Chains A and B, each alone.
Chain A
């Protein structure tokens, strides 16, 4: 129970009406209620608060300043602007996650512009905008830059659609900018000129992340900018074009960095330069997070040693390391909580993780070459086992491998029962247990049985319906489930939909689930954020039935193969909405 709402009730004045059961009898000034509610930040709590009664609904909506929209099409700008008059910070998510893997055609949607138009009109005091998987054009960035005088933080995570020009608007006009983060965003034709657009007196930047830009940037401007912001800059993540000696010059100006993303680590340095870089790192006493590290090898690790002991998050996902190299570095990093590596470190490297990093909580192992014929490289069940043995606090796993066994997974979750995120990707679709050749059902059954806190699960390998029966039965806290090339029949999906009470996002591809499975969730989908099904056995008829049955769901079929009932629905995206069908749907998206 929210302590604030309790407080609210307890401080009810002793009114003459001792039966204070009806809110309308409460002589509780709105201002007081609003004051109390202003302490509540979590949007989930606020949503609950707003359901209590009309007074509370109103008090809540007047005091909400952070807006979170998990699916940009679930609500419209008009509805939002009517309900919440005083928004200062906005977070919106757009495309379904599978768009990351090129499964959504271009120009599918999730363009932020309509939102910005509304914000410009209704929220002139907007300070923060954080977007994920949305399309952001230069016009939108221009509108943003020119509409909000107090604008502070722009974060574009996995977005696309903008160029150099858009960033120039932001740099030029946002005088109070503290954060500019375009992590993982795809920007075409973005050079580095936007860096020159920050005004001479601009010095408030705290976060700057352009690591995913793939072009040269204007180093001089960057250096000057970092120098001007040396007192405030906490997070700096540059892109690969920045060399080591350039990095050194930046670090000298930014000793207060907490998070650093380096540029390329592949450079021949003179001994003197080595020293300089090394001491620059050592001087960053607050450094906790290190990423970038393109092409880092142990030739250059020594420069990092001065900072390693304090590191809590090391992101080596751009460095192709061998096991020995990783082991060598990790020996200096006993406080690591999060580690991202490429699978070239192999099982031996993961053994080193297990032995050097007892505090590890998160491990992500990415494949060097997901499509490579060469099966010699990579990690296997041994690596997973080794990490689980050495890192009992592990609760987040993302593991790409070409070999796995039930036994290893069962043992791993026994060693680490606190998993909240378990994402195992056996890269060959439908691959069985490497040793026994049986399905991987036992592995995932163990995961859901042993890890009661599990919130996110991605399954892979050869899986029958049994896996999904287990998931439905045991995964009571599961919120996100990703399934590919798995299951034997509709029953699998039915079990999940009937069984997981907290399920919010379900994404399925290439599974033998048809209309019966789709329709079994008809009561569930309104309680979820979204459902994605692609390359399954669902037909247009099933989609139409669902759409008819549930008017508050948008049932969208992308790239349908024909509109007759029997035609397969290639990609189906179902989500709850109060905004009705999309008004901006491109021709290849059919809303049923």
Chain B
């Protein structure tokens, strides 16, 4: 159902810019924004559209189909498949939207259509014909969330997808929203507020993550600042020492190099190299484009966009990094703004 998932991308908000329907795998429109410039259009709209309709109650079978499909390697944008798939993915999409990390589940119950300036159907067709170079590598993308806005740049088009091929296999379940049922949709790895029920102070300290390194003399403190970096779709985590960088640019390049293997092809144990290779430049585009955003978890447990605060403040408060699909990060910008307001 991967294709179905992909088909859904087009069904998002008006503000979503879709990948230009360039057939060429090389054509990746980039808005070229750095981390700092990322700007989610219509933030105020965002909250009203961030909701998704109550799940249409896609049944378990569909979900398990999604699972299977999700493990398929496909090229091209979703939506290039049959309309039937698109429909199915719509519901999956809605469910996943409810998993959106920073939005309380109640939001998920608002009608998705309410805030949309453009209905689902409008965008589906337009999207279905386009191919995405991003998808060229055959990664299994899964749409995550309706009402996701990636960029305000009309020219940039990015599939609003995120996926974890492996996690789709492994997580059999979807998060129920309050209004829906207990179907087993694959859980997009979005976080639900307050779940699992673990006290926030119990999260591991930085020292713990650095201890996981094979550093023999892993001293805590100013000598090394290891944080875990996860990337949506990557089968395992990496760790970086934030002290080896002094600017966001450096961090970004470092991460590109580190994660290039994940997007250039499967290099993990799961591995057959069945995916199309991507050039380094494409990867850079990948990271710099609105395709991915770099986010971090701060000391309070909130997820913020990287690049909003001065570097020193960032490394002082960063506990963990995550390279998210742009679609996932939709709720972060308002948070960051709100948080800095609170701090002032």
Q: Encode A344-368 as 1/0 by CB contact (under 8 A) with B.
A: 0000000000000000000000111
Q: Contact: A101 with B182, CB < 8 Å?
A: no
User: What range describes how many residues of B lie at the interface?
Assistant: 35 or more
Q: Contact: A320 with B110, CB < 8 Å?
A: no
Task: Specify which chain B residues have a CB less than 8 angstroms from the CB of A464 in the assembled complex.
Answer: 182
**B170: interface (CB < 8 Å):** yes
Q: Contact: A295 with B211, CB < 8 Å?
A: yes
User: CA A369 – CA B204 in complex, angstroms?
Assistant: 8
User: CA A416 – CA B189 in complex, angstroms?
Assistant: 35
Task: Specify which chain A residues have a CB less than 8 angstroms from the CB of B205 in the assembled complex.
Answer: 240, 294-295, 318
Give the interface SS of chain A, mostly helix, strand, loop or mixed: loop
Task: Specify which chain B residues have a CB less than 8 angstroms from the CB of A430 in the assembled complex.
Answer: 173-176, 182-184
**A485: interface (CB < 8 Å):** yes
Q: Contact: B211 with A101, CB < 8 Å?
A: no
Shortest Cβ distance from residue A316 to the other chain B in the assembled complex, whole angstroms: 12
Q: Contact: B176 with A510, CB < 8 Å?
A: yes
| Also in contact, A186 and B201, with CB within 8 A (given A268-B219, A367-B196, A568-B178) | yes
User: CA A370 – CA B16 in complex, angstroms?
Assistant: 31
User: CA A264 – CA B164 in complex, angstroms?
Assistant: 36
Besides A268-B217, A373-B189, 19 new A-B residue pairs in contact (Cβ under 8 A), listed by A number = A369-B204, A370-B196, A374-B236, A376-B236, A400-B198, A429-B175, A429-B176, A429-B192, A429-B195, A430-B176, A430-B184, A432-B172, A432-B184, A437-B172, A509-B194, A512-B176, A534-B105, A535-B105, A559-B104
Task: Specify which chain B residues have a CB less than 8 angstroms from the CB of A297 in the assembled complex.
Answer: 211
Q: Enumerate B188-241 residues with CB–CB distance to A below 8 Å.
A: 189, 191-205, 207-208, 211-212, 217-220, 230, 234, 236-237
Q: Contact: A570 with B219, CB < 8 Å?
A: no
**B179: interface (CB < 8 Å):** yes
Can you name 16 A-B residue pairings with CB atoms under 8 Å? A100-B199, A102-B194, A317-B202, A372-B237, A373-B167, A374-B236, A376-B236, A400-B198, A428-B172, A428-B187, A429-B187, A431-B171, A432-B173, A534-B178, A535-B105, A570-B178
**A375: interface (CB < 8 Å):** yes
Closest B residue, CB atoms, query A296:
B211
Q: Enumerate A409-465 residues with CB–CB distance to B below 8 Å.
A: 425, 427-432, 437, 462-464
Most chain B CB neighbours (cut-off 10 Å) among A371, A425, A437, A537: A371
Q: Contact: A101 with B198, CB < 8 Å?
A: yes
Shortest Cβ distance from residue A23 to the other chain B in the assembled complex, whole angstroms: 49
**B181: interface (CB < 8 Å):** yes
| Also in contact, A373 and B197, with CB within 8 A (given A462-B182, A485-B175) | no
Q: Contact: A372 with B230, CB < 8 Å?
A: yes
**A145: interface (CB < 8 Å):** no
Task: Specify which chain B residues have a CB less than 8 angstroms from the CB of A372 in the assembled complex.
Answer: 230, 237
**A487: interface (CB < 8 Å):** yes
Give the interface SS of chain B, mostly helix, strand, loop or mixed: loop
Task: Specify which chain A residues have a CB less than 8 angstroms from the CB of B204 in the assembled complex.
Answer: 320, 368-369
User: CA A485 – CA B178 in complex, angstroms?
Assistant: 8
Shortest Cβ distance from residue A432 to the other chain B in the assembled complex, whole angstroms: 6
Shortest Cβ distance from residue A373 to the other chain B in the assembled complex, whole angstroms: 6
**B339: interface (CB < 8 Å):** no
Q: Contact: A561 with B201, CB < 8 Å?
A: no
Closest A residue, CB atoms, query B234:
A373
Pick from A373, A482, A535: contact of B177, CB under 8 Å:
A535
Q: Encode A175-218 as 1/0 by CB contact (under 8 A) with B.
A: 00000000010100000000000000000000000001000000
User: CA A516 – CA B188 in complex, angstroms?
Assistant: 31
User: CA A98 – CA B192 in complex, angstroms?
Assistant: 13
User: CA A464 – CA B180 in complex, angstroms?
Assistant: 13
Pick from A240, A266, A511, A534: contact of B176, CB under 8 Å:
A511
Task: Specify which chain A residues have a CB less than 8 angstroms from the CB of B212 in the assembled complex.
Answer: 320
| Also in contact, A101 and B195, with CB within 8 A (given A212-B201, A240-B205) | yes
Shortest Cβ distance from residue A320 to the other chain B in the assembled complex, whole angstroms: 5
Pick from B189, B197, B202: contact of A425, CB under 8 Å:
B197
Task: Specify which chain A residues have a CB less than 8 angstroms from the CB of B106 in the assembled complex.
Answer: 534-535, 559, 561, 568, 570-571
User: CA A310 – CA B312 in complex, angstroms?
Assistant: 46
User: CA A79 – CA B62 in complex, angstroms?
Assistant: 58
Q: Contact: B193 with A103, CB < 8 Å?
A: yes
Write the residues of chain A forming the contact surface with B, with a CB cutoff of 8 angstroms.
Answer: 98, 100-103, 184, 186, 212, 240, 264, 266, 268, 294-295, 297, 317-318, 320, 366-376, 400, 425, 427-432, 437, 462-464, 482, 484-488, 509-512, 534-537, 559, 561, 568, 570-571
Pick from B105, B179, B184: contact of A462, CB under 8 Å:
B184
Q: Contact: B217 with A429, CB < 8 Å?
A: no
**B123: interface (CB < 8 Å):** no
User: CA A484 – CA B193 in complex, angstroms?
Assistant: 12
Task: Specify which chain B residues have a CB less than 8 angstroms from the CB of A536 in the assembled complex.
Answer: 178
Most chain A CB neighbours (cut-off 10 Å) among B177, B193, B197, B201: B197
Task: Specify which chain B residues have a CB less than 8 angstroms from the CB of A534 in the assembled complex.
Answer: 105-106, 178
Pick from A367, A486, A510: contact of B175, CB under 8 Å:
A510
Task: Specify which chain B residues have a CB less than 8 angstroms from the CB of A100 in the assembled complex.
Answer: 197, 199
Q: Contact: B201 with A184, CB < 8 Å?
A: yes
Task: Specify which chain A residues have a CB less than 8 angstroms from the CB of B181 in the assembled complex.
Answer: 488, 512
Shortest Cβ distance from residue B59 to the other chain A in the assembled complex, whole angstroms: 13
Closest B residue, CB atoms, query A320:
B208
Task: Specify which chain A residues have a CB less than 8 angstroms from the CB of B196 in the assembled complex.
Answer: 367, 370, 400, 425, 427
User: CA A30 – CA B182 in complex, angstroms?
Assistant: 60
Task: Specify which chain A residues have a CB less than 8 angstroms from the CB of B219 in the assembled complex.
Answer: 266, 268
Most chain A CB neighbours (cut-off 10 Å) among B175, B178, B211, B220: B178
Shortest Cβ distance from residue B263 to the other chain A in the assembled complex, whole angstroms: 16
Task: Specify which chain A residues have a CB less than 8 angstroms from the CB of B195 in the assembled complex.
Answer: 101, 429, 484-485, 509
